[in-house]
Amino acid sequence: MSQYAKPPIQPFEISLDIPTGALSPAGPTLIRKLSDLEGCFENKEAFQSEVAQTNPIVYQVISSLVPETARELPQSITTIYPGSCGDELYMTKGHQHPDPQGEIYYGLEGTGGIILFDGKEKKWLDISPGKIGYIPPGWAHRSINTGSTPYKFLAVYPGSAGHDYGWVLAKGMGFRAFDSNGKLVLKDFVI
Amino acid sequence: MSQYAKPPIQPFEISLDIPTGALSPAGPTLIRKLSDLEGCFENKEAFQSEVAQTNPIVYQVISSLVPETARELPQSITTIYPGSCGDELYMTKGHQHPDPQGEIYYGLEGTGGIILFDGKEKKWLDISPGKIGYIPPGWAHRSINTGSTPYKFLAVYPGSAGHDYGWVLAKGMGFRAFDSNGKLVLKDFVI
């Protein structure tokens, strides 16, 4: 399995292979199956049933070699597959940065969006190729595939920001994103 | 003149208009004419003569609204026009980050490269559309247009990194990049 490079990091070139959603040279790859998103979808019955049947891959994240350590600026490409669970669109687990720092998501292929939540205010950003979503410090964020093809984006984030997945499970995400006959419907996240 | 947004920054969408090299909504725009690059080119005679004659625009930088403050992750698009001064290819002033933090340059259009220098080691990275150059903490960096069309790249950098232009004037950049009948030639930077 690939690992991050060991500091000190040297200058190097990183290629984006958008068809495969890979950064090259690649660091760690993360595969999230539906079962890895326990507690994320509203419809628990649909979730359990789909996990028991096909347990599909919901998304993958391929990181570059740049490590998640202080002062570095790592990157990754996330590919969220199209689909839904109980009509709730496929999404990432979502996280908050324990050390509040800004992040960008840059659309590469397909269409999607970001749900952002600071514990009080909630926000939706539409993302498509050539568009950046700015995630300010202090806003938890979750990505959604709103289309019928894989949705891919490049993330760039400070290496010391960290990932707190428990924050989202405890506090929610403000919105949930559903498919309604091919249209995106945002509903309040009830916790 | 456009300014950065005032913190606290809200989540927002940023569009990249690659033909014009603009981020939208746009923050400050920086235009560097040849005369703004005093001390950068090796051939002082050619520099003075071209400044006196046409003093062309060498590059522009259009920033997003995200401010250059701690914890934010600002971005900008740099457009370096094609050309040379005494055969030395058009380039940015180059800078070091006073607070050493990583940065990425993502190629959008045209072809170019980055000269990197940490005070001892020097490095060249080729950049073209779809390719990231990783600038580790502690490496001064200068961008070069190696082609015959405008070279454009997206920069993403921690808001507290800062810009020290004097470092480069005092210590050099390791390499100088010249055009030799359409071919890139790197020479040692003599200081």
> A154: burial class by Cβ within 10 Å (0-12, 13-18, 19+)?
buried
* Percentage of the residues of chain B whose pLDDT score is greater than 70: 99
> Does this complex have an ipTM over 0.90?
yes
pLDDT, one tens digit per residue, over B99-144 is 999 999 999 999 999 999 999 999 999 999 999 999 999 999 999 9
Q: Residue A1 pLDDT > 80, yes or no?
A: no
pLDDT at A191: 84
pLDDT at A89: 98
pLDDT at A27: 97
Q: How far apart are CA A133 and CA B16, in angstroms?
A: 11
Using DSSP, state whether B77 is helix, strand or coil: strand
pLDDT at A92: 98
In b/e form, how buried is each residue of A164-178, taking b as 16+ CB within 10 angstroms? beebbeebbbbbbbb
Task: Provide the CB-side half-sphere exposure for A178 (13 A, CA).
Answer: 13
Report the chain A residue with the minimal C-alpha distance to residue B122.
Answer: A11
Q: In order of start, what are the domains of chain A with their CATH numbers? A: 15-188 (2.60.120.10)
Q: How far apart are CA A124 and CA A144, in angstroms?
A: 10
Using a CB–CB cutoff of 8 Å, tell me whether A10 touches chain B: yes
Tell if the CB–CB gap between B130 and A18 is shorter than 8 Å: yes
Over residues A162-183, mean pLDDT:
96
pLDDT, one tens digit per residue, over A46-87 is 999 999 999 999 999 999 999 999 999 999 999 999 999 999
> B162: burial class by Cβ within 10 Å (0-12, 13-18, 19+)?
middle
The full DSSP string for A115-160 is EEE-SS-EEEEEE-TTEEEEE-TT-EEEEEE-SSS-EEEEEE--TT
pLDDT at B19: 97
Report the chain A residue with the minimal C-alpha distance to residue B108.
Answer: A130
Tokens of B182: 């359409």
Question: For residue B1, what pLDDT band results from cuts at 50, 70 and 90?
Answer: low
**CA-CA-CA-CA torsion sign (A165, A167, A173, A178):** positive
Over residues B148-173, mean pLDDT:
97
**Rounded to an integer, what is the distance from CA B105 to the centroid of its chain?**
9
End-to-end CA distance of chain B: 37
Residues of B in contact with A130 (CB under 8 A): 15-16, 18
On average, the pLDDT of chain A sits at 97
Tell if the CB–CB gap between B104 and A156 is shorter than 8 Å: yes
CA distance A175 to chain B (A): 15
Residue of B66, B116, B132 with shortest CB distance to A14: B132
In single-letter form, the type of residue at position B144 comes to: I
User: Around Cβ A143, how many Cβ atoms within 10 Å?
Assistant: 24
Residue of A100, A131, A136 with shortest CB distance to B11: A136
Using a CB–CB cutoff of 8 Å, tell me whether A46 touches chain B: no
pLDDT at A172: 96
pLDDT at B182: 93
Question: For residue A113, what pLDDT band results from cuts at 50, 70 and 90?
Answer: very high
In b/e form, how buried is each residue of A38-59, taking b as 16+ CB within 10 angstroms? eebbeeeeebeebbeeeeebbb
Q: Write down the residue that tokens 């390719």 correspond to.
A: B131
Q: How far apart are CA A25 and CA A4, in angstroms?
A: 10
Using a CB–CB cutoff of 8 Å, tell me whether A72 touches chain B: yes
